[in-house]
Amino acid sequence: MRIIDIANRELRDATERYLDIRPELGNRFKNAMKAAFQDIAAYPDRYPLILGTARQYLVPVFPYSIIYRYRSTTIRVIAVYNHSRKPLGWRHR
């Protein structure tokens, strides 16, 4: 799995925000994201296509989506996106 730079920054920024709110919440977010990436890696075709070849995984409990593209054996994460803000702001990637 490859996470592009901007998606990595989004993940890092979100984690820091939750840690700033409350460390326990930040740890829950990190665990939810780890589980999400494991699910995507195990079943990349399971999650719905939302735009062209982009797929969306909705992270349970948190208002975040992981947007990724999957071709044969390559998973490329293009966004870790707060879908309560500008839900389609990642589309230019």
55 has which bridge partners? 49, 68
Q: pLDDT by residue for the chain (93 residues), tens digit each?
A: 999 999 999 999 999 999 999 999 999 999 999 999 999 999 999 999 998 999 999 999 999 999 999 998 899 999 999 977 655 555 555
CATH 3.30.450.20 corresponds to the domain 2-82? no
State residue 16's pLDDT score: 97
What CA–CA distances, in Å, run from 50 to 12, 20, 31, 58, 88? 24, 32, 25, 12, 10
pTM score:
0.88
Q: Where are the domains of the chain?
A: 2-82
State residue 72's pLDDT score: 84
